Amino acid sequence: MRKKAGLILFPKFFYFLLTVFLLVSLELPPSGLAQEYPTKTIQLIVPFPPGGSTDLTGRFVATYLSKKWGQTISVVNKPGAGGTTGVMFALRSKNDGYTMLMDVISAGTLNPAIEGKLPYKWDEPTLVARTNISPLVFFVKGDSHWRNLREVLEDVKKDPEKFTYGTSGLGGPSTFSIAQLLEAAGIDPTKVARVVLQGGAPTVTNVAGGHVDFASQNLSEVISMIQAKKIKGLAVTTPQRVKQLPDIPTSKEAGYPAYKLVGWNGIAGPANLPDYVIKKWDQGIREIMNDPAFVEDMERIGAPVSYMGPKDWKAVLEEEYKSAMKFAEKLGLRK
């Protein structure tokens, strides 16, 4: 008898527990979440295929923050349409802090400047914190007769239609930085032929092989080929020289301070992220910036850490967007 009663009683007790558990887990009020966020796996969307510097940055941020928070942050690649697919996925997700975006300059301000019909505006994502910058390097073929930036631009100015430059995509920093430079040198950027290549690596090989005359690419993509003298770096866009390539002058030293566009990555999220999510991530990013191992890892991939909080970052991006709009119209890129 007793045994039978136990058998019947157990399910009732079990269901009661199950009900309580479900109620607690599903119906937690948002204020409770704020205290404990994150309580489950966070998706960090990378709007590019794996392997690039945005992807690597995302993987480092995810690894270090997962360790710190004791919660898994999984990197999810949503490549397509120059970053738009991934950004739209993040923007359409719930703004509960469990879907975040590894943002990058092209998706952040440059694409919105080019594409009038883009399904999002530059200021639509909630900006949380900038993690790093990506200095751009101007380079020519390794055995080129050009010894410095001035010589290149003087030649191009004489007969701009004789020269070609490569860019790693439709828009992106490699296009806009060259436009900045050519304009500063008094050359009409539309006169020089722009060869749109498919990514950073082909751009570097095309310059190294002499198929196009010059290009401007992320530091991370050019370091090894410059060290091997297959290409020659003539200027970097940062105010200071970069540690990995100390011989390359800054654009200011090379005489063209207007060549100053610098790429970046940062954490963003869907519109109207709750404050506690912004705070948690902002604080987390600041903490890992103080971890020498993280700083070293980022340095190694050619993306030196450079923190910027939500407010400052937005102001910088607004200026970047306006300047990009100007060049997009000048180059006839704006649609």
Partner 1 sequence: MEVLQQLILGFSVALTPTNLFYCFVGVFIGTLIGVLPGFGPTAGIAILIPVSLSLPPTTALIMLAGIYYGSMYGGSTTAILINTPGEAASIPTALDGYKMARQGRAGPALGMAAISSFIAGTFSIVGLMLLAPPLASVALAFGPPEYFSLMFLGLTMVASLAGKSLIKGLLAGLFGILLSTIGMDPISGSERFSYGNPDLLSGIDFISVVVGLFAISEILINAEESMVGVYETKLKGLFPTIQDWIDCKWALVRSSIFGFLIGLLPGASASIAAFICYDLEKKFSKHPEKFGEGAIEGVAAAEGANNAAVGGGMVPLLTLGIPPSAPLAILLGALMIHGLRPGPLLFTQNPDFVWGLIASMYIGNIMLLVLNLPLVGFWASMIKIPYPILAPIVLSLCVIGAYGARNNMLDVWVALIFGVIGFFMRKLDFPSAPVVLALVLAPMVENALRQSLTISRGNILIFMMRPISAVLLILAAISLFLSIYTRMKKSSKVQALIESSSTD
Binding interface with partner 1 (CB under 8 A):
49-52, 55-56, 59-60, 62-63, 75-82, 84-85, 88, 114-115, 117, 119, 161, 164, 170-171, 193-198, 201-202, 204-206, 208-212, 220, 223-225, 227-228, 230, 297, 300-302, 333, 335
Closest approach, Cβ 76 to partner 1, in A, equals: 6
Closest approach, Cβ 24 to partner 1, in A, equals: 31
> In this complex, which beta carbon is closest to partner 1, that of residue 156 or of residue 308?
156
Place of tokens 């970069």: 242
> In this complex, which beta carbon is closest to partner 1, that of residue 159 or of residue 319?
159
Closest approach, Cβ 34 to partner 1, in A, equals: 28
> In this complex, which beta carbon is closest to partner 1, that of residue 64 or of residue 256?
64
Fill in the DSSP letter of residue 162.
Answer: G
> In this complex, which beta carbon is closest to partner 1, that of residue 198 or of residue 272?
198
> In this complex, which beta carbon is closest to partner 1, that of residue 178 or of residue 333?
333
> In this complex, which beta carbon is closest to partner 1, that of residue 136 or of residue 333?
333
Closest approach, Cβ 304 to partner 1, in A, equals: 14
Provide the pairing of β-strand 42-46 with 99-104. parallel
Closest approach, Cβ 92 to partner 1, in A, equals: 10
Strand order in the sheet with 136-141: 193-196, 164-167, 214-218, 136-141, 231-236
CB 220 within 8 A of CB 197: no
Query: CA-to-CA distance for 281 and 298, rounded, in angstroms?
Result: 18
Query: CA-to-CA distance for 68 and 71, rounded, in angstroms?
Result: 8
Closest approach, Cβ 269 to partner 1, in A, equals: 18
**Angle 53-69/292-300 helices, nearest 10 degrees?**
170
Query: Does a cis peptide bond (omega within 30 degrees of 0) precede residue 249?
Result: no
Structure tokens of 195? 């060869």
CB 196 within 8 A of CB 222: no
